Amino acid sequence: MSVIDVKYWESAVRDASSPQLLRQAREQFHDAANCGQTGDAVLEAVVSVNRIHDAIIKRCLHWSEQQMEREGWGSPPSAYEFVLLGSAGRREQTLWSDQDNGIVYPPPSAAEAEHCEKYYLRLGSVIVDTLNAVGYPPCEGNVLAREPLWCKPVNQWLELLNQWAGDPTWEHVRYMLIVADLRSLTGSGALTACLKEKLFQCVNHDQELPGRMLYNALRHKVLLNIFGGFVKESYGEAAGSIDIKYGAYIPLVNGIRLLSITAGLMEPSTMGRISHLTEQGLLPDPMGASLTAAFQTVLDLRSRSQYKMVDDAYEGTGMVEFGQLTKEDKEALKQALKTGDALQKYLRKQISASR
Amino acid sequence: MEFQLNALWVMLGAILVILMQGGFIMLETGSTRMKNAGHVAGKTIFTIGLGAIIYWMIGWGIAYGPDGNAFIGLGDFFYNPYNSGEDLPNSVSFIFQFAFAAISLSIAWGGFAERGKLAAYLLFTLVFVALIYPVVSHWIWGGGFLAEDGAQDFAGSTVVHLTGAMAALAATILLKPRIGKFNKDGSANNIQGHNQVFTTLGVLILWVGWFGFNGASTLGVDDTAFFGYVAFTTLLATGAGAIVSLLTVWALSGKADIGTMLNGTLAGLVAITASCAFVDPWAAVVIGAIAGALVYASMKFFEKMKIDDPIYALSVHGAVGVWGTLANGLFATEELAVNQVGVGQAGLFYGGGWGQLLVQLESVVICGIFAFVVSFVALLIIKAVVGLRVTEEQEIMGLDLSEHGSYGYPEHMTNSGKTSGISS
């Protein structure tokens, strides 16, 4: 078992002088990091991998700002926050995650509004391209800093949250859940905190919203059939594999996220959320312990899932070949799935009771 | 008056059974791809037409000819039924029996789907309608040796369904899987049909037609209008098949798969076909329910065996046809078997011992092997003479264009769209 030397790789990232060289460094990092950690080492590895991802993204952001200057835009007009969403926001990216990001900037004066809007949208576009060049494919759902929906001054973000809360369609609820995982990579984090506070306020003042979020959180079921057997993929290249991402990881993430939103927790990582929820007595101790163990198992298996190169970028499948799992893996996975199932039942009970 | 009533009822049954071909057209077309739609639908009509002539020339004589023996009927070739028949006009009887032969033939096409040559369909129709089906129907319904042993197969779980399925099995083995069905590593791909609504409507048409298929197999209207009871058990088993298949696939895969439910519905129908006149209502429910679960297990089994069964004919008609026939040996009641129908004896659960079950086993084994072997040999010969499968290029282009020169959907176009969502 080897430990990832974070300092070494952070320095390798800093030393890369171009996206091409950074990509090479990233590939070397893949080889070094992809060496089958188990147990506690998995959690450590996830933390380390995400620190390196953060370093790479920061490096790309630095080059993007430089390119903006070369293009004649000058330096950033205000103290903006480049925010990460999805698994990056939760510090749970795998080696081959894609990019989900956005920009939040301080409310500009009327005179600066147009320039700011143009500047940040262009910056968003440049950084999405730069990250793509380094091997992070853009998110298919277009949750990207180059999109007007995800690149706004904080006052408009707040308005938007109000609108979504007032009209909680499936899509709007999904956006609100995305906001819950926001994490600022640059800047003070004050703007991001402001958005999250607004989100919690909306949820706490609305009788209907938690229920709506519950539907969304329960959308992906754990992959156990009613006899307690694993539900595997039946067809295609992944036949016989188990979809760890959507059948184990996402149900846990979604459930814990919803509990955290209703509790008003700022913490974006699932493991951190479980700790806070347990400490605050919002999760019974035994459930907190089983969720920690379950999430560790799932992260471990997720790190072993297959990935492939698509359009010159890394793409994880989230699938793990069932036949390659040991007896212990299968037992741990079954326990994790049972815990996921129990979490979904607990959520249903908690949210219904609070309405 | 009884003669005329019998004629009317059985003629109505024949019409319903022939209309079941509409169900097969919808079922098979909906379960296959758009590029083959016109071919899949059209060949059914053509082969029924060809089958009608062959059955008149040869098939009827082999099945019911008066000069035969325990193994084959002889006589009445190029049959003229004018003004003959004791309880039922022979003309009506012929149409009814032909309708069954045509159903069995359409079941066999399940094994050819999406890659069989038109010429192979044509030549196999000759063999199947002139020889394979008539011989099996002679054994069980035409006074053959299995009838003498007391084999119970009221409307044809074995005669019609298993025979057709065994021909389909021979065909799909010789034709080999469709391009893209299995990956190099042996895993299967789900080649989805192009229209689930067609498939569903097909199943409904079959279900309705089955009241003629089973109900008119009473071959008349007796004092008790027994056909009503036959239709009643048919209804119960089908309902049970639909429910259990859906619950089974839902429980095991987490998805309430419509295709499996439709196959389960048909499985209920196929299973009760042999036993509809022999069993109590509760047994009809059990027979249909087991069929509903069995069909799902069988679908998975054939896929695991890397046998491409495009419209699941092997499972719905083969595996379930066997179950339906064996079920008589378990659930047949003495009152119905001995007093009402007058074929065989009570099953194992009704005090009849193992005897009837063994007779039922004998009939599925012998008929199954016969239908498979003769079909296999016939198809081997056809393969050597004209070939069985279209070329790779023709298969990719679709049989509508390659075999018939025009599309079933001339304006069809593919539509590719990506779903979106945040990565996690």
Per-residue pLDDT tens over the stretch B147-170: 999 999 999 999 999 999 999 999
Q: How confident is the model at residue A154 (pLDDT cuts 50, 70, 90)?
A: very high
CB contacts < 8 A, A to B, total 62
Q: Do B422 and A141 make contact, defined as CB atoms within 8 angstroms?
A: yes
Q: Do A142 and B418 make contact, defined as CB atoms within 8 angstroms?
A: no
- A interface toward B at CB cutoff 8 Å? 85-87, 97-98, 100, 139-143, 174, 178, 221, 223, 225-227, 229, 231, 234-240, 245, 249-250, 253
If you count them, how many residues does chain A have? 355
Q: What is the pLDDT of residue B170?
A: 98
State how far the Cα of A35 lies from the Cα of A44, in Å rounded to an integer: 13
Cα distances from A280 to residues A264, A346, B355, in angstroms, run 11, 17, 71
Nearest CA in chain A to B254: A225
Across the interface, which of A223, A236, A253 has its CB nearest the CB of B187? Answer: A236
Q: Do B423 and A100 make contact, defined as CB atoms within 8 angstroms?
A: yes
In a domain, B416, yes or no: no
Position B115 pLDDT exceeds 70: yes
Q: Which residues of A touch B185 (CB under 8 A)?
A: 237
Across the interface, which of A86, A231, A245 has its CB nearest the CB of B253? Answer: A231
Say which range, A147-161, B139-153, B392-406, has the weakest mean pLDDT. Answer: B392-406
Q: What is the DSSP string of B27-94?
A: HHHHTS-GGGHHHHHHHHHHHHHHHHHHIIIIIHHHHH-BT--SS--B--TT---TT--SSS-HHHHH
Position A169 pLDDT exceeds 70: yes
% of chain B at pLDDT higher than 70: 97
Per-residue pLDDT tens over the stretch A67-84: 999 999 999 999 999 999
Pick among A53, A235, A242, A311 to test the B interface (most B CBs inside 10 A)? A235
Summarize the confidence of residues A328-350 as an average pLDDT: 94
For B306, left (φ over 0), alpha (ψ -120 to 50), or beta? Answer: left
CA distance B420 to chain A (A): 4
State how far the Cα of B328 lies from the Cα of B354, in Å rounded to an integer: 11
- Give the strand pairing for A183-184 and A319-321: unpaired
* The residue to which tokens 């076909």 are assigned: B273
State how far the Cα of A38 lies from the Cα of A35, in Å rounded to an integer: 10
Residue pair B320/B161 in contact by the 8 Å Cβ criterion: yes
Per-residue pLDDT tens over the stretch B210-250: 999 999 999 999 888 999 999 999 999 999 999 999 999 99
Range of the domain at B163: 2-182+193-402
Q: Which residues of A touch B254 (CB under 8 A)?
A: 221, 223, 225, 231
Summarize the confidence of residues A287-298 as an average pLDDT: 95
Average pLDDT, chain B: 94
Q: Do A140 and B253 make contact, defined as CB atoms within 8 angstroms?
A: no
Q: How confident is the model at residue A1 (pLDDT cuts 50, 70, 90)?
A: very low
If you count them, how many residues does chain B have? 424
State how far the Cα of B258 lies from the Cα of B56, in Å rounded to an integer: 39
Closest to B354 (Cα-Cα) out of B385, B328, B376, B373 = B328
Burial of B271 (C-beta count, 10 Å sphere; 0-12/13-18/19+): buried
Backbone phi and psi for residue A242, each to the nearest 5 degrees, phi listed first: -115, 135
- Residue A1 structure tokens: 């078992």
Q: Which residues of B touch A226 (CB under 8 A)?
A: 251
Position B414 pLDDT exceeds 80: no
CA distance B252 to chain A (A): 5
State how far the Cα of B96 lies from the Cα of B48, in Å rounded to an integer: 13
Nearest CA in chain A to B256: A225
Position A313 pLDDT exceeds 80: no
Output the CA torsion sign for B294, B297, B299, B305. negative
Q: What is the pLDDT of residue B41?
A: 95
Per-residue pLDDT tens over the stretch B71-108: 999 999 999 999 999 999 999 999 999 999 999 999 99
Q: Do A234 and B188 make contact, defined as CB atoms within 8 angstroms?
A: yes
For A77, left (φ over 0), alpha (ψ -120 to 50), or beta? Answer: alpha
B253 touches chain A (CB under 8 A): yes
Q: Do B423 and A249 make contact, defined as CB atoms within 8 angstroms?
A: no
Q: Which residues of B touch A87 (CB under 8 A)?
A: 423-424
Domain CATH for B32: 1.10.3430.10
Residue pair B62/B135 in contact by the 8 Å Cβ criterion: yes
In a domain, B270, yes or no: yes
Say which range, A245-259, B54-68, B287-301, B397-411, has the weakest mean pLDDT. Answer: B397-411
In a domain, B423, yes or no: no
B418 touches chain A (CB under 8 A): yes
Three-state SS at A138: strand
Summarize the confidence of residues A119-131 as an average pLDDT: 97
Q: Do A86 and B190 make contact, defined as CB atoms within 8 angstroms?
A: no
Per-residue pLDDT tens over the stretch B332-371: 999 999 999 999 999 999 999 999 999 999 999 999 999 9
Summarize the confidence of residues A298-315 as an average pLDDT: 75
In a domain, B34, yes or no: yes
Amino acid at A284: P
Per-residue pLDDT tens over the stretch A254-270: 999 999 999 999 999 99
CA distance A285 to chain B (A): 27
Q: What is chain A's Cα-based Rg? A: 21
Across the interface, which of A142, A238, A250 has its CB nearest the CB of B424? Answer: A250
Across the interface, which of B189, B419, B424 has its CB nearest the CB of A236? Answer: B189
Amino acid at B25: I
CA distance A252 to chain B (A): 12
State how far the Cα of A89 lies from the Cα of A178, in Å rounded to an integer: 9
State how far the Cα of B104 lies from the Cα of B114, in Å rounded to an integer: 19
Q: What is the pLDDT of residue B410?
A: 84
State how far the Cα of B116 lies from the Cα of B120, in Å rounded to an integer: 7
Summarize the confidence of residues A179-203 as an average pLDDT: 95
Higher-pLDDT residue of A218, B92: B92
Closest to B338 (Cα-Cα) out of B132, B150, B199 = B150
Q: Do B189 and A235 make contact, defined as CB atoms within 8 angstroms?
A: yes
Per-residue pLDDT tens over the stretch B12-54: 999 999 999 999 999 999 999 999 999 999 999 999 999 999 9
Q: How confident is the model at residue B419 (pLDDT cuts 50, 70, 90)?
A: very low
Q: What is the pLDDT of residue B174?
A: 97
Residue pair A250/A87 in contact by the 8 Å Cβ criterion: no
State how far the Cα of B278 lies from the Cα of B281, in Å rounded to an integer: 10
Per-residue pLDDT tens over the stretch A245-257: 999 999 999 999 9
Q: What is the pLDDT of residue A38?
A: 62
Going from N- to C-terminal start, the domains of chain A cover 207-355
Closest to B152 (Cα-Cα) out of B267, B287, B314, B265 = B287
Element (H, E) at A340: helix A327-354
Per-residue pLDDT tens over the stretch B361-370: 999 999 999 9
- Residue A8 structure tokens: 């070494």
Q: How confident is the model at residue B416 (pLDDT cuts 50, 70, 90)?
A: very low
Q: Which residues of B touch A138 (CB under 8 A)?
A: none
Summarize the confidence of residues A3-21 as an average pLDDT: 88
- List residues bridging with A320 in a β-sheet: A242
Total structural domains within chain B: 1
Residue pair A202/A176 in contact by the 8 Å Cβ criterion: yes
In a domain, B421, yes or no: no
Three-state SS at B143: coil
Cα distances from B369 to residues B73, B112, B295, B362, B373, in angstroms, run 20, 19, 21, 11, 6
Nearest CA in chain B to A251: B424
Element (H, E) at A83: strand A81-84
Q: What is the pLDDT of residue A292?
A: 95
CATH 2.120.10 fits A207-355, yes or no: no
Q: Quote the crossing angle between the two packed helices A250-263 and A170-180, to the nearest 10°.
A: 80
Average pLDDT, chain A: 91
Three-state SS at A96: coil
Q: Which residues of A touch B189 (CB under 8 A)?
A: 235-236
Who contacts B278 (Cβ-Cβ below 8 Å, separation ≥6)?
Answer: B152, B154, B328, B331, B332, B333, B336, B337, B341, B347
Q: Do B254 and A98 make contact, defined as CB atoms within 8 angstroms?
A: no
CA distance A249 to chain B (A): 9
Q: Do B422 and A223 make contact, defined as CB atoms within 8 angstroms?
A: no
Q: Do A142 and B420 make contact, defined as CB atoms within 8 angstroms?
A: yes
Across the interface, which of B187, B420, B422 has its CB nearest the CB of A178? Answer: B422
Q: How confident is the model at residue A303 (pLDDT cuts 50, 70, 90)?
A: confident
In Å, how far from its chain's centre is CA B354?
Answer: 27
Q: What is the pLDDT of residue B68?
A: 93
Summarize the confidence of residues B294-317 as an average pLDDT: 95
In Å, how far from its chain's centre is CA B115?
Answer: 20
Residue pair A87/A95 in contact by the 8 Å Cβ criterion: no
Residue pair B206/B16 in contact by the 8 Å Cβ criterion: no
Burial of A106 (C-beta count, 10 Å sphere; 0-12/13-18/19+): middle
Per-residue pLDDT tens over the stretch B168-196: 999 999 999 999 999 888 889 999 999 99
B417 touches chain A (CB under 8 A): no
CA distance A179 to chain B (A): 11
- List residues bridging with B389 in a β-sheet: B116
State how far the Cα of B423 lies from the Cα of A313, in Å rounded to an integer: 14
Q: What is the pLDDT of residue A239?
A: 85
Who contacts B311 (Cβ-Cβ below 8 Å, separation ≥6)?
Answer: B27, B28, B31, B32, B110, B113, B193
Q: Which residues of A touch B187 (CB under 8 A)?
A: 235-240
Q: Do A143 and B185 make contact, defined as CB atoms within 8 angstroms?
A: no
- Per 3-state DSSP, chain A is made up of helix, strand and coil in percentages (nearest 5) of 60, 10, 30
In a domain, B260, yes or no: yes
- Residue A333 structure tokens: 């996975």
Say which range, A121-135, B312-326, B394-408, has the weakest mean pLDDT. Answer: B394-408
